[in-house]
Amino acid sequence: MSFLDPRTKSHFLTLIMPVELKDVALLAGVSVAHSWQLIRFARRVGAARGKFKVEFPATTGNEDFERYYRAQMNALEFYPIFSTTLWMGGLFFHQVPAAIAGVIYIYARNKYFDGYIISVKDRIPGFKLSVNCLKSLFLMFVLGAGHMAVENFTGINIREQYLQQYLKF
């Protein structure tokens, strides 16, 4: 169940209804795609290590290699933030917009990685887009969790009232 789910009739149902796999299938797909992306980044860093002759375990010594390495490390640093906001946005708001934001985030991370290996300055468009995706996912979580809190503590279903008042459903 989620913020946009029309099956949500009672705040008590949302508390006891289990999450079904179909309710998170898109989120799982995006998570697997992101894991595959991180594997690809690691392989590219390994290839760059050989190309620029940077002996393991060194991570410095060649500026071109360092950009590959930093791009991968930045992707890993953002992994917990992305994973958390993707799943919380999808569970509390709705999996479809969360999955769309997740796919755009993966695209932005590719753009970031490819830009970074060209020059430090070229990473900025991908970085900005990925941060905006994270903001969107976080907003989805806040809206969904806020709606659930209001409904559970006051009995007011904001979504239903909005639909009735403004969309005349």
H or E element: which one contains 56? none
Burial class (CB in 10 A: 0-12, 13-18, 19+), 7: exposed
Contacts of 72 (CB under 8 A, 6+ apart): 41, 42, 44, 45, 113
The total of other beta-carbon atoms located within 10 Å of residue 95's CB is 25
Q: What is the pLDDT of residue 71?
A: 97
| DSSP structure class, residue 91 | H
- Output the pTM of the full model: 0.85
pLDDT digits (tens, 9 = 90+) for 90-108: 999 999 999 999 999 999 9
The total of other beta-carbon atoms located within 10 Å of residue 26's CB is 20
With vertex at residue 160, the alpha carbon angle to CA 89 and CA 142, rounded to the nearest 5 degrees, is 25
pLDDT digits (tens, 9 = 90+) for 36-73: 999 999 999 999 999 999 999 999 999 999 999 999 99
CA contacts within 13 A on the Cβ side of 33? 18
